[in-house]
A and B are shown apart, each in its own frame.
Chain A
């Protein structure tokens, strides 16, 4: 395969369409119980996507890392009327896809179904989100699997590097909570803990139901009122999730994670980033396209194309409600660890040294616009975006204004913003590999702390 960047879709284009691409019309309203509803009608296929989203996540785990994630996961493990097996058999018989998951700041459960199966499947989904019972036996089984998954994840540096970085840079702050927990923290979770978490957070006043696909809005509203109008929840008032902005380390530090059988060194370098609603998000996204989010980006060009040090090098903004990080990541064989780290740093310095040139900015603008609209092609993608609207508070102007904002960015502003917001000092390094080969050389980047996987 040519590239590992499979999921790097950015933005779409051309003068011709610049003013024509808009987020499709949708309706938003609230049920008397406080649950928000988003409806978006599309008739390309007979599919309907239904997604319940809650404003809660791993930031609410406290020290019980993995609690939000396990609670989300366990929604499909049984409800008041249906056992796990009954849920699986019914949903799968009709070919519906279902999933539930948590991130740092959101929890969701969703299904995609054929509209003709609505009456068979919605009663089940309704129970999954409104009356999960977290059966002890099923929870114990899933717990064992989650712990095994966490063990297995340690076999893959690529799977570990992001969570190691988040907990290294955020330390005790909730954004550092590992979403899937640790072997020890998950082992301590119980059915009662999941139930308590769901009663606290998975409540109608804290939820949005998003329906996108092939339906008639008037009929859908009646169905939703009948299904979800009666949902009272636990009656507990939900505290709005408010996470204070974390402090960032003031000096450069290195976390060396020893993997004695590694043949490669996998590393991530970064620092303070921007929030999800940062007023410069589009512009800084564009600057990052140039630095490390497309094939011809500076980082990939230097580390892969020109030197063959790696199969791929990239950078990204990780954005949260009140904070964020910026990270560069790649991997290389153990022997070339230091040349690769040095080259990544040197390439990164281009932001402050040469800066962005006009031709590269023009190319990045075309690329960003050209890759934008496929992100809003399916009902599922549109439902995901509306979930983000509810959780993070942004709206469709992000999509509607995107081309305009990209076009409006001048070269001098691009450089000014990049120099101001990309973290220059106090960089944090996480390096996974053979400690015996790496230990000595890492000191030059900052104070080294070492741990096992």
Chain B
């Protein structure tokens, strides 16, 4: 287990982020959603702190917590007054070393997760589309599964599945811990030696060896939802894992496309043509090759075809003519401001350390990132646009209110 400590005494608070290198990418048919369900079960009882006691004890010490699961990782976050540091170590070490699976808690949590899935589908059109999007874009790699899982898997996974999952992935050597805030390195070392060091490591989990085959032609899907007021479009292109030599160029490209109202997509679609009300482009960090995403919502009366055509023409402009020096400088300036903003809170400091350690090959990359970003040229931007924004590499999803007859 690797532990990072960032001392910051600006407020009398601290946090502990535990990054586990397990996510929906480690699942297979039958246990989709299990990484996320497991995240819930980590709060439902261990040896010293039984069912419901984790939250009760943490809150009584002034702490609060949350957790989230992505395709790649499961992350547990504790925020607490610095006086509660030892209690947090006690709680975390108890569940890492001695998680228990209470049958009644499993059944109750199954309902909670079903409600979480259902409320996402009910209130968020992108959640509604995600299952089809990933399932279309990926055919072999487990990125094809939605993080929340399929309902039939949520209904049917067993206690045995949970136990296997725990043994496979929740060994200390599969985790990175970041503690930021009003703590001292010496105290953290002392507590880590006492609480975390005795927990035995295990064989590293099985590598994900499945490689998504190269896509050789455009893929498309349509979803019908009667209450959708205007069409939603979700377009993705396969891109390399983080980090690759193209990561920063792709990130800057996605900012040029959609960061702010002067960005290429927003300006053209929303301001000039008024055919969309929102548009965004982003490229999530990932352990294996994943996706550059473009999401857009059509303005009233605008067809999905029209919106798609205009989005693609904006991309084609970049592919053919590249971007300007000023545009590139703009998104570099924005990236620098992003670094400063991240330094404003102990939470975003911890998140940044975790992100660079887990995805970029080491926390030292955090310090070289501004330089590497600055080195990206307009030629790099055009090159990655040409390489990845190809029709054959694309999946297009449409959500609309018309029946597909």
Q: Does B116 contact A (CB under 8 A)?
A: yes
- Are A378's CB and B115's CB within 8 A? no
Q: Which of A10-18, A316-324, A390-398, A423-431 contacts B (4 or more CB under 8 A)?
A: A10-18
Q: Min CB distance, B88 to chain A, in Å?
A: 11
Q: Min CB distance, B295 to chain A, in Å?
A: 13
Q: Min CB distance, A336 to chain B, in Å?
A: 9
Q: Does A261 contact B (CB under 8 A)?
A: yes
Number of chain B interface residues as a range: 35 or more
A141, A305, A378: which contacts B108 (Cβ < 8 A)? Answer: A305
Q: Does A3 contact B (CB under 8 A)?
A: yes
Name B329's closest neighbour in chain A (CB-CB).
Answer: A93
Find the residue from A94, A95, A156, A364 having the highest chain B CB count within 10 A.
Answer: A95
- With A16-B83, A263-B122, A332-B115 known as contacts, the answer to whether A371 contacts B346 (CB < 8 A) is no
B201-223 contact mask (Cβ, 8 Å, vs A): 1 or 0:
00000000000000000000000
Further contacts, 12 of them, CB under 8 A, given A2-B43, A89-B262, A92-B263: A84-B261, A84-B271, A91-B260, A93-B329, A144-B300, A154-B227, A157-B122, A263-B122, A296-B59, A309-B111, A311-B113, A367-B62
* CA gap between A245 and B68 in the complex, in Å: 42
- Are B229's CB and A311's CB within 8 A? no
- Are B62's CB and A155's CB within 8 A? no
Q: Does A70 contact B (CB under 8 A)?
A: no
* CA gap between A91 and B263 in the complex, in Å: 12
Can you list the 7 inter-chain pairs with the closest CB atoms, starting with the nearest?
A370-B62, A308-B111, A95-B337, A363-B60, A14-B83, A92-B260, A95-B333
* CA gap between A333 and B115 in the complex, in Å: 7
Q: Does B12 contact A (CB under 8 A)?
A: yes
Q: Which A30-65 residues have a C-beta within 8 angstroms of B?
A: 44-47
- Are B62's CB and A93's CB within 8 A? no
- Are B55's CB and A295's CB within 8 A? yes
- Are B12's CB and A17's CB within 8 A? yes
- With A145-B299, A305-B52, A311-B116 known as contacts, the answer to whether A370 contacts B344 (CB < 8 A) is no
Note all chain B residues with C-beta closer than 8 A to A294. Answer: 59, 64
* CA gap between A46 and B339 in the complex, in Å: 11
A2, A145, A377: which contacts B10 (Cβ < 8 A)? Answer: A377
- Are B84's CB and A370's CB within 8 A? yes
Find the residue from B110, B111, B346 having the highest chain A CB count within 10 A.
Answer: B111
B49-62 contact mask (Cβ, 8 Å, vs A): 1 or 0:
00010011001111
A278-302 contact mask (Cβ, 8 Å, vs B): 1 or 0:
0000000000000000111000010
* CA gap between A373 and B52 in the complex, in Å: 26
- Are A1's CB and B64's CB within 8 A? no
* CA gap between A371 and B12 in the complex, in Å: 10
Note all chain A residues with C-beta closer than 8 A to B345. Answer: 374, 377-378
* CA gap between A363 and B64 in the complex, in Å: 12
Q: Min CB distance, B387 to chain A, in Å?
A: 26
Find the residue from B52, B230, B270, B344 having the highest chain A CB count within 10 A.
Answer: B344
Q: Min CB distance, A5 to chain B, in Å?
A: 8
Q: Which A121-176 residues have a C-beta within 8 angstroms of B?
A: 141, 144-145, 147-149, 151-152, 154-159
Q: Does A422 contact B (CB under 8 A)?
A: no
Q: Min CB distance, A314 to chain B, in Å?
A: 13
Note all chain A residues with C-beta closer than 8 A to B344. Answer: 44-45, 47, 377-380
- With A14-B83, A93-B333, A144-B300 known as contacts, the answer to whether A374 contacts B229 (CB < 8 A) is no
- Are B59's CB and A308's CB within 8 A? no
Note all chain B residues with C-beta closer than 8 A to A154. Answer: 227, 229
* CA gap between A227 and B125 in the complex, in Å: 45
Measured CB to CB, the residues of B under 8 A from A are: 10-13, 36, 39-40, 43, 52, 55-56, 59-69, 79-84, 107-116, 118-119, 121-125, 225-230, 259-263, 267, 270-271, 274, 277, 297, 299-300, 326, 329-330, 333-338, 340-341, 343-347
* CA gap between A75 and B335 in the complex, in Å: 26
* CA gap between A304 and B108 in the complex, in Å: 8
- Are B56's CB and A296's CB within 8 A? yes
* CA gap between A97 and B11 in the complex, in Å: 25
Q: Does A21 contact B (CB under 8 A)?
A: yes
- Are A114's CB and B337's CB within 8 A? yes
Note all chain B residues with C-beta closer than 8 A to A93. Answer: 262, 326, 329-330, 333
What are 11 sample pairs from A and B whose C-beta atoms fall under 8 A apart?
A1-B69, A2-B39, A88-B260, A95-B333, A112-B337, A141-B271, A144-B299, A159-B123, A367-B59, A367-B63, A377-B10
- With A154-B229, A295-B64 known as contacts, the answer to whether A309 contacts B10 (CB < 8 A) is no
Q: Does A436 contact B (CB under 8 A)?
A: no
- Are B59's CB and A147's CB within 8 A? no
- Are A47's CB and B62's CB within 8 A? no
A338-377 contact mask (Cβ, 8 Å, vs B): 1 or 0:
0000000000000000000000001110110111011011
* CA gap between A367 and B229 in the complex, in Å: 42
Note all chain B residues with C-beta closer than 8 A to A88. Answer: 260-262, 267
* CA gap between A45 and B340 in the complex, in Å: 6
- Are A311's CB and B259's CB within 8 A? no
